[in-house]
Structures are given as C-alpha cells and as structure tokens.
Amino acid sequence: MSISWVTVPTPLPSGPVRLAVTDQGVAAVSYHGDAVAGLPAGLPECADEQRVALVRSRVDEYFAGNRRDLELPLDWRFATGPHRLVLETLKREVPFGKTVTYGELAARSGAFEELDEGDWAAARTVGKMMGANPLCLLVPCHRVVASDGIGGFGGGQVGVEVKRWLLTLEGVLPPTLDWSGPT
C-alpha cells in the first residue's frame, strides 16, 4: 500500500491543501498540513505525474469556480462503520450549493435509527464525525451546518474561515467585501 501527498496551492485562509493518494484514489485530505489519523508521518510527495496532474487540475478548477464536484476516486480506508455511512450519505445527498444540519444528516444516514432527528446526541456525534472526516473537501463536511448558524470546522478560527470561504464559493453565503474567490 503506497500512500503519498499531492500538495495544491489554494486561495483558502489556511493555504494549500494536501491530498493523500493511493492506487485506489484519494484516501485523505488536510487543510492545515495537520496530521490525518491513520496516516504515518513523513509521507513523500507523489511521483506519479499523471495522478498529480489530475488531482491538481480538479482542485484548481473547483477553486476557480469551474467545477462543482471534484470527481476523483475515493479510497475509503480511513472511514469505516457508521462514520463511513454518514460520510457516504453526505456525499450522495448534499450537492454543491446546498447545506444540511448535523441533525438532518444524522437522520438521513440511518446510522442513528434509535434517535430522532432532533436528538442532540445524534447531531453532536455527526459533528464529531465531520471533525474526523478524512476526505474533507471531497466528502464536503463544510456543507454540514448547525441548526442555528454555520457551526464549527477543524482548525479553530482559521477553520471556520475556511468553511465560510467554501460556502461562499458554493453560493450558500453571500460574498463579503474582502472576498478573495472567483466572481
């Protein structure tokens, strides 16, 4: 199992994104250069020029506002059980430009059948799952919001600004005067 990084510059407040790629697809994404659970430290940059070119072009097109779905193959090895079920539901049911609350995603996924949509425990669990999403950006956890606002995002205040930036790019939020994205 060979895993390597593809680093792509972005206009995000957090800087470049790093995508961990395998022969099967993208296995993980990091916004802040943060460690990803399950990935060993010190992975090399990807030497497969075709794979690098594909990943970079799709990510560049998305951030330029020319692509709504990255359409990259996914390697789900770091998401299993109910976590994977919730992430697959998010990927399948919440398209570009739409959002879902933590509680709604919990209900849609069926991972919490014994709890109802309004149950705070299911919503909180989905929030934790989004925070541990190994495939952020490709499985768009930025589209999962709180019932009373934008909600959180990994990385503290910079993370919330990344979420705000992505939701603005997708037309969910109106651009502010300092918007640095495509028009």
The CATH number of whichever domain residue 148 belongs to comes to 1.10.10.10
Distance CA 56, CA 62 (A): 10
Q: What average pLDDT does the chain have?
A: 91
Count of the separate structural domains present in the chain: 2
**Is 42 domain-assigned?**
yes
Which one of the listed residues 141, 144, 162, 166 is annotated catalytic? 141
Whether residue 143 sits in one domain with residue 104 = yes
The answer to which of 10-24, 37-51, 134-148, 164-178 has the lowest mean pLDDT is 37-51
Predicted confidence (pLDDT) at residue 34 exceeds the cutoff of 90? no
**Is 179 domain-assigned?**
no
**Is 72 domain-assigned?**
no
**Is 47 domain-assigned?**
yes
Whether residue 89 sits in one domain with residue 38 = no
What average pLDDT does the segment 63-91 reach?
96
The answer to which of 32-41, 99-108, 115-124, 139-148 has the lowest mean pLDDT is 115-124
**Is 71 domain-assigned?**
no
| The pLDDT of residue 115 | 58
Rg of the chain over all Cα atoms, to the nearest angstrom? 16
CA 109 to chain centre: 17
**Is 52 domain-assigned?**
yes
141 is an active site residue: yes
Predicted confidence (pLDDT) at residue 130 exceeds the cutoff of 60? yes
Classify the phi-psi angles of 151: left when phi > 0, otherwise alpha if psi is within -120 to 50, otherwise beta: left
Predicted confidence (pLDDT) at residue 116 exceeds the cutoff of 60? no
Whether residue 85 sits in one domain with residue 16 = no
Task: Decide which of 40 and 65 is more confident.
Answer: 65
Nearest to 20 by CA among 117, 175, 138, 132: 138
Whether residue 86 sits in one domain with residue 24 = no
Q: What is the pTM of this model?
A: 0.93
Alpha-carbon distances, residue 134 vs 38, 63, 66, 77, 148 (angstroms):
9, 20, 24, 9, 25
**Is 130 domain-assigned?**
yes
**Is 175 domain-assigned?**
no
Which token pair is 69?
């779905």
Domain region containing 10: 4-63
Tokens 């495939």 -> residue? 135
Per-residue model confidence as pLDDT tens digits over 138-157: 999 999 999 999 998 877 88
Q: Tell me whether strands 4-8 and 100-101 are parallel, antiparallel or unpaired.
A: unpaired
Whether residue 93 sits in one domain with residue 48 = no
Whether residue 58 sits in one domain with residue 8 = yes
Q: If 0-12 CB within 10 Å is exposed, 13-18 middle and 19+ buried, where does residue 25 land?
A: middle
Whether residue 103 sits in one domain with residue 159 = yes
